[in-house]
């Protein structure tokens, strides 16, 4: 890693314009990198590796304790970054799956709700039809009861008159028997 780090430093130095160049010339001749032109740091390191500049940088890095400590710290931070990146990616996947599951559960609940609404609607229509039939039967029975009550009152009045006539006829019969006894 130390050798690679030296090559990285060399690549960075090679990328900067020389201090000996005039600002006018470097400003005119500098070509800005586009996203298609930019190579990764690793590609730049590979370009410098093996060159005299790369070898010199590797020797400087290998003998400098501060650079060694920085290189170690950089590797540790890079490892932490990789771990955090993996965790972040995993968290994103989990969130995506959780959202998919939530959407699935919501759509399942919506379908179940619609099925239950349809069942309840069918039951309600059935109960309404039954209630309509029962109301018609109640109206018919009520009308029959009213007719029966009218007929009962008429029969009661007729019975009262007939009893009255029977009582009169009994009284006339008793009177006729008395007259027959008197005549005999």
Q: What is the pLDDT of residue 60?
A: 75
Q: Residue 76's domain spans which residues?
A: 56-182
**Rg of the chain's alpha carbons, rounded to an integer?**
57
In angstroms, the CA 37 to CA 103 distance is 42
Q: What is the pLDDT of residue 39?
A: 57
Q: CB of 71 within 8 A of CB of 2?
A: yes
Of the pLDDT bands very low, low, confident and very high (cuts 50, 70, 90), residue 137 is very high
Domain contains 86: yes
Domain contains 124: yes
Q: What is the pLDDT of residue 6?
A: 53
Domain contains 42: no
Q: What is the pLDDT of residue 12?
A: 57
Domain contains 175: yes
Going from the C-alpha of 105 to that of each of 27, 29, 115, 119, the distances in angstroms are 61, 61, 15, 21
Domain contains 9: no
Residue 62 has pLDDT above 60, yes or no: yes
Domain contains 156: yes
Domain contains 22: no
- How many structural domains does the chain have? 1
Residue matched to tokens 């005999």: 184
Instruction: Name the nearest CA neighbour of 181 among 61, 166, 173.
Output: 173
Domain contains 76: yes
């Amino acid at each position: 890693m130390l050798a690679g780090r030296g090559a990285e430093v060399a690549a960075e130095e090679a990328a900067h314009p020389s201090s000996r160049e005039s600002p006018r010339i470097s400003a005119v001749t500098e070509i800005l990198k586009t996203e298609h032109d930019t190579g990764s740091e690793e590609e730049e390191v590979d370009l410098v590796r093996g060159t005299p500049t790369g070898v010199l940088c590797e020797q400087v890095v290998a003998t400098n304790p501060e650079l060694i400590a920085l290189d170690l710290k950089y590797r540790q931070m890079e490892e932490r970054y990789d771990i955090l990146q993996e965790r972040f990616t995993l968290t994103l996947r989990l969130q995506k799956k959780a959202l998919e599951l939530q959407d699935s559960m919501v759509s399942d609940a919506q379908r179940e709700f619609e099925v239950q609404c349809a069942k309840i609607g069918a039951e309600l229509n059935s109960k309404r039809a039954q209630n309509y039939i029962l109301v018609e039967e109640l109206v018919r029975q009520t009308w029959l009861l009213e007719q029966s009550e009218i007929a009962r009152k008429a029969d009661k009045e007729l019975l009262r008159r007939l009893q009255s006539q029977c009582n009169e006829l009994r009284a006339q019969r008793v009177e006729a028997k008395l007259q027959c006894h008197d005549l005999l």
